[in-house]
Homo-oligomer: A and B are copies of this chain.
């Protein structure tokens, strides 16, 4: 499971530190084996919760890709059905569970060395997130119910890893007609920002939720 969240303007992912061989003490994506009467998505979510103790429900969950090359795991032929999830805003405290000895948030674009082929999985998840952003409005899933346009733009910039033009961004977002004003907010110094919320929440059809 590649679990994404936004924190301080940066895209983060949730990793666990392995306690067992192979790759003991390495960082890895949380995951494990499917049980007999659960869906693949439910298994990914259960393993995420067991190994990292995150209590949050993701705002988005979708299957990413299946990695099954022989030799990707020294224990034998292991086929991993990778999923990706978008967690609500913020990076809450996490702690190890199950067979792991650590759990922590990392900046997605600058991860530590990862066990197995998990770096490939992460790279594919980031690419998918970037393309989904365009036509599935995934950015909203990273924010709380009320947010400002600069906050939304920050999400886009963190995921795409590039700066966007403020005026064009606002024009594009507001022309979609999915937002309605919901007050103002003062963030210390500077002019107060208009607060928005989504008018209707249209679920992306590929979502597993």
Q: Which residues of A contact B (CB under 8 A)?
A: 34, 36-40, 63, 65-66, 68-70, 77, 79, 81
Contacts and interface: CB of A to CB of B under 8 A. Distances in A.
B77 A36 contact: yes
Most buried by B among A66, A79, A81: A66
Nearest to A43: B68
Nearest to A83: B66
A194 to B, nearest CB: 35
Nearest to A38: B70
A68 B68 CA distance: 15
A40 B36 CA distance: 22
21 contacts: A34-B68, A34-B77, A34-B79, A36-B70, A36-B77, A37-B70, A38-B70, A39-B68, A39-B69, A39-B70, A40-B66, A40-B68, A40-B69, A40-B79, A63-B65, A63-B66, A66-B66, A66-B81, A68-B81, A79-B79, A79-B81
